[in-house]
Amino acid sequence: MRAIRCLDYGPIDDLVLDEIASPEVRPGTVKVRVRAAGVNYVDTLIVQGGYQVRTPTPFTPGWECVGDILEVADDVARDAPQLAPGTRVLVASGEGAYADETIAPAHAVTPVPDGISDGVAATFVQSYMTAVFALRHRARAERGQSMLVIGAGGGVGLAAVDVGVMMGLRVFAAASSEEKRQLALDRGAEAAFDVRDDDIKAAVRELMAQEGKTGVDLVYDPVGGEQAETWLRSLGDNGQFLVIGFVGGIPSLPLNHVLLRNRQVTGVEWGSWVGKHRAENDALLVEVMQLIAAGTLRPVEPTEYPLERTVDALRDLAERRAAGKLVVVP
Ligand SMILES: NC(=O)c1ccc[n+]([C@@H]2O[C@H](COP(=O)([O-])OP(=O)(O)OC[C@H]3O[C@@H](n4cnc5c(N)ncnc54)[C@H](OP(=O)(O)O)[C@@H]3O)[C@@H](O)[C@H]2O)c1
């Protein structure tokens, strides 16, 4: 079978398309024929050895995918009858998705209901589960609150816009291109600002002043970098800065601006929470899939790349050209 291989940690361009033996089913695992694999920023970190967890090389990257079950281990057939061969499932195992076939622990494999396309099923888990976890569990966001989403036309940001709107928040989006801003507006953002040009802090403060507030209630920041301080200062009284990711670099935030107005900075690490709350996460995943199937949540249909162009997909994401989500199709 064909697979994208990371032979050694290094630049995305070092990834190779190779022919390797189909992985063998071991106890507790499921083998899946991949229909589509989601492209996430974290994949670019993993192949460069820049992620918290380092997968031993050589390996096949690809954090999540959708496909059909080919084979299951005997213990899986006995303990998880819903994972029968032929079932369309999503796989969120953290590796192995950029290939014709992949193998994953049964706990990372979930049947996908009808009404969710392959493209959406392959791309929503990381972005939407992070958004629901962040807004419900970490921020304890409430209807009527306001939220500024940074990188709002990227995977994680766009999901936060969608989930925020569903929860009844007033959502403001910041993104670098017209196409990305339009995606956020289409998902219900009230206003979308140009992250490169607009004075977003002044604009959101002015909007919030109309309801007697000193700034926004929440900032959702998957980007970080030098602008993070400006976003912190966009928060009003008791405002909360959600630390989601650092595609633009790890910022240093001045604590005096956390003290002012009684602000809070809240870390969000969905992955480590999943490890300790597997049953709760499984229930949340089913709930999110139901909301998508019902059309209440509306993940964007991804742009497709063939497997042999996986590097181009990862490069487009890393170089800020991707609007919405990207998917690799074997
Ligand atoms: N905390 C958690 O539990 C959790 C879970 C999942 C993912 N994450 C993190 O969330 C972050 C976003 O992931 P993603 O898959 O949504 O990525 P993405 O689709 O590429 O979106 C990231 C956005 O960042 C913006 N950006 C600003 N500076 C950039 C730069 N120098 N290079 C690339 N993009 C830049 C881009 O928006 P503009 O061009 O509009 O500025 C881009 O759309 C990653 O750091 C990931 O590790 C965190």
In 3D space, the residue among 25, 6, 35, 321 whose CA is nearest the CA of residue 180 turns out to be 321
Instruction: Determine the atom of ligand 1 nearest the C-alpha atom of 126.
Output: 6
Q: Give the residue, out of 137, 163, 320, with the most ligand 1 atoms within 8 A of its beta carbon, to mutate for a pocket test.
A: 320
Residue 81 has what DSSP assignment? T
> Is the same domain home to 159 and 190?
yes
Distance of CA 96 to the CA centre of its chain: 17
Q: Tell me what pLDDT residue 119 has.
A: 98
Instruction: Please count the structural domains in the chain.
Output: 2
52 contacts 111 by C-beta, under 8 angstroms: no
Distance of CA 58 to the CA centre of its chain: 25
Number of H helices, E strands in the chain: 12, 15
All residues at 6 or more sequence positions from 275 whose CB lies less than 8 Å from its CB, including other chains = none
Give the pLDDT mean for 183-207.
96
Output the CA 257–ligand 1 centroid distance in Å.
Answer: 24
d(CA 190, CA 65): 32
In 3D space, the residue among 252, 41, 273, 246 whose CA is nearest the CA of residue 134 turns out to be 273
In 3D space, the residue among 28, 33, 38 whose CA is nearest the CA of residue 159 turns out to be 38
Q: Which structure tokens are listed for 28? A: 């507790």
Give the amino acid at 189.
Answer: A
d(CA 169, CA 150): 15
Output the CA 150–ligand 1 centroid distance in Å.
Answer: 9
Q: Which of 228, 252, 271 is a domain's end point?
A: 271
- Is residue 280 in a domain? no
Q: Tell me what pLDDT residue 64 has.
A: 97
Instruction: Determine the atom of ligand 1 nearest the C-alpha atom of 318.
Output: 33
Nearest CA to ligand 1 atom 8: 245
> Is the same domain home to 199 and 265?
yes
> Is the same domain home to 115 and 218?
no
Output the CA 221–ligand 1 centroid distance in Å.
Answer: 9
Residue 198 has what DSSP assignment? S
Q: Tell me what pLDDT residue 235 has.
A: 98
d(CA 164, CA 117): 22
Task: Give the pLDDT confidence of 143-192 residue by residue, as tens digits.
Answer: 999 999 999 999 999 999 999 999 999 999 999 999 999 999 999 999 99
Asked whether residue 197 carries a pLDDT value surpassing 90, the answer given is no
- The model's confidence at residue 53, banded by pLDDT at 50, 70 and 90, is confident
Give the pLDDT mean for 265-287.
96
Ligand 1 neighbours (beta carbon < 6 A): 40-42, 126-127, 130, 151, 153-156, 175-176, 180, 195, 222-223, 244-248, 268-271, 317-318, 320, 322
Output the CA 83–ligand 1 centroid distance in Å.
Answer: 32
d(CA 25, CA 21): 12
Domain membership of residue 34 as a residue range: 2-123+302-329
Instruction: Determine the atom of ligand 1 nearest the C-alpha atom of 325.
Output: 19
Task: Give the pLDDT confidence of 83-110 residue by residue, as tens digits.
Answer: 999 999 999 999 999 999 999 999 999 9
Output the CA 25–ligand 1 centroid distance in Å.
Answer: 34
CATH of the domain at 159: 3.40.50.720
Q: Tell me what pLDDT residue 11 has.
A: 96
Give the pLDDT mean for 297-326.
97
Asked whether residue 141 carries a pLDDT value surpassing 90, the answer given is yes
Q: Tell me what pLDDT residue 198 has.
A: 87
> Is the same domain home to 97 and 10?
yes
> Is the same domain home to 221 and 323?
no
> Is the same domain home to 64 and 160?
no
Q: Tell me what pLDDT residue 147 has.
A: 98
Q: Which of 271, 290, 316 is a domain's end point?
A: 271
> Is the same domain home to 178 and 260?
yes
CATH of the domain at 59: 3.90.180.10
> Is the same domain home to 51 and 187?
no
In 3D space, the residue among 171, 163, 133 whose CA is nearest the CA of residue 274 turns out to be 133
Give the pLDDT mean for 201-225.
97
- Is residue 196 in a domain? yes
Nearest CA to ligand 1 atom 31: 248
Distances (CA, A) of 36 to 102, 139, 149, 210, 306: 11, 32, 28, 46, 9
Q: Which regions of the chain does DSSP assign to beta strands (E)?
A: 2-5, 16-19, 29-39, 64-72, 88-91, 101-105, 109-111, 146-150, 170-175, 191-194, 216-221, 235-243, 264-267, 303-306, 326-329
Pairing mode, if any, of strands 170-175 and 88-91?
unpaired
- Is residue 172 in a domain? yes
- Is residue 289 in a domain? no
- Is residue 279 in a domain? no
> Is the same domain home to 96 and 132?
no
Q: Give the residue, out of 124, 150, 156, with the most ligand 1 atoms within 8 A of its beta carbon, to mutate for a pocket test.
A: 156
> Is the same domain home to 310 and 212?
no
- Which percentage of the chain shows pLDDT scores above 90? 97
- Is residue 291 in a domain? no
Using CB atoms within 10 A of its CB, is residue 211 exposed (0-12), middle (13-18) or buried (19+)? Answer: exposed
> Is the same domain home to 249 and 153?
yes
> Is the same domain home to 132 and 262?
yes
Nearest CA to ligand 1 atom 25: 151
- Is residue 6 in a domain? yes
Output the CA 72–ligand 1 centroid distance in Å.
Answer: 35
- Is residue 77 in a domain? yes
